[in-house]
Structure 1
Amino acid sequence: MDMDKFKQGIKPGIWGAVIGAAALAIIGFNWGGWVTSSAATELTRTAVLDRLVPICVGQFNADADKAAKLAALKKADSWKQGDYVAKQGWATMPGAKEANSRVADSCATLIAS
């Protein structure tokens, strides 16, 4: 192979690789279902909340004094409602030692609405 022909073929080959890599990334992230690490983390957090908040609401519904506690929850400032739910123990999942603040906030929003 002649060195000039080799040099002439290398530039289009490099451009083809660059364009192919860009196309692969665009197709993969837009239509291939690829996600970034941060997007996967957020999807996971949302899925966990979707599973745990109904447990919190169920623990609220099982509380014998739920009517009075609901009134107290509604009287609390919106930014304190999650803390109130956590203190009542509704956001503490079975087997856990303490409440999850994200579960408590979401649960408070759902209960108070």
Structure 2
Amino acid sequence: MTFPEWTKPSLYGALGGAIAVSVFGFSWGGWTTNSNAQTMAQNLAADEVTLAMIPFCLDNSEADPERSEKLAILRDLSGFSRRKAMMDTGWATRPGSDKPDRDLADACLEGLELDGS
């Protein structure tokens, strides 16, 4: 079986074009793999749930009878120790959970605006 003379260059051209389109698509074209898309969706969902829980956290802080003492402690701390203290207050514990949420604690600290007040 003989192939025409143009077959080999056209196959190389098609292969090179396929590789170039794939590189372009995944690098700059916005293409993504299924696992990467699932990871991005899970991260987005977690971020949105945290944002939705900020009012709950702020309401917990306002309903706490020891609010002023706990806020004074939070104002005196910074960085990770402030987040740890926020988690210890119990304000950053989601309903139905036993443990406080680290992301919610960070978001609630921003919502309390401790540095600006």
**TM-score per shorter chain, which class?**
0.7 to 0.9
- Point out where structure 2 has 5 or more consecutive residues left out of the alignment: none
Aligned to 1:28, the other structure's residue is in SS state coil
Q: Percent identity?
A: 22
2:10 maps to 9
Superposition TM-score, scaled by structure 1 size: 0.72
- Equivalent positions of 1:8-47 (< 5 A) are 8-25=9-26, 26-29=28-31, 34=32, 36=36, 40=40, 41-47=42-48
Matched, 1:72 2:105: no
Q: Is the 8 A contact 2:86 2:105 kept in 1?
A: yes
Q: Is the 8 A contact 1:85 1:108 kept in 2?
A: yes
1:103 maps to 104
- Point out where structure 1 has 5 or more consecutive residues left out of the alignment: none
Q: CA deviation at 1:60?
A: 0.4
Task: Write the deviation string for residues 19-53 of structure 1: whole angstroms up to 9, x where unpaired.
Answer: 22233332234xxxx58459715434432321223
The aligned length equals 109
RMSD: 2.7
Which structure 1 residue ranges, 4+ long, deviate > 6 Å from structure 2?
A: none
Q: Is the 8 A contact 1:91 1:99 kept in 2?
A: yes
Measure the CA separation in 2 of the matches of 1:11 and 1:78: 57
Q: Is the 8 A contact 2:93 2:99 kept in 1?
A: yes
Superposition TM-score, scaled by structure 2 size: 0.70
Aligned to 2:57, the other structure's residue is in SS state helix
